[in-house]
Amino acid sequence: MSFPEQILWLYQHQPAVLLALAMVFGLMIGSFLNVVIVRLPARLEQIDNDENEGGESAASAAGKWFLIVPPSHCPGCGHRLPWYENIPIASYLILGRKCSSCRAAISLRYPMVEALTGFLALAALWHFSLSVDSIIAFGLGCLFLVIACIDLDRLMIPDVLSLPAIWLGLAASAMGIGIVPKDAIIGAVCGYGVLALINSIYALLTQRQGIGRGDWKLAAVIGAWLGPQGLTISLMGAFLLGSLAGLVLMAAFAQGRRTAVPFGPFLAGGGVIAVYFGPDLAQWYMALIMPR
Ligand SMILES: [Zn+2]
Q: Which CA distances in Å does 235 have to 51, 96, 162, 226?
A: 36, 39, 17, 12
CA distance 72 to 86: 8
For the stretch 35-47, pLDDT in tens is 999 999 999 998 8
> From the CA of 81, how far away is ligand 1's center (Å)?
9
Q: Is 80 helix (H, G, I), strand (E, B) or coil?
A: strand
Neighbouring residues of the ion ligand 1, judged by CB less than 5 Å: 74, 76-77, 79, 99, 101-102, 104
**Positive/negative CA dihedral, 84, 87, 90, 96:** positive
Domain ranges of the chain: 1-130, 157-292
Region of poorest pLDDT, from 58-62, 124-128, 188-192, 263-267:
58-62
Report residue 57's pLDDT band, with 50, 70 and 90 as the boundaries: low
Region of poorest pLDDT, from 33-37, 169-173, 210-214:
210-214
For the stretch 249-280, pLDDT in tens is 878 776 555 666 789 999 999 999 999 988 88
> From the CA of 80, how far away is ligand 1's center (Å)?
9
> From the CA of 96, how far away is ligand 1's center (Å)?
13
> From the CA of 79, how far away is ligand 1's center (Å)?
5
Indicate yes or no: pTM above 0.75: yes
Terminal C-alpha separation, the chain: 48
Q: Which CA distances in Å does 188 have to 70, 172, 263, 271?
A: 37, 13, 18, 13
Specify the DSSP class assigned to residue 102.
T
> From the CA of 86, how far away is ligand 1's center (Å)?
13
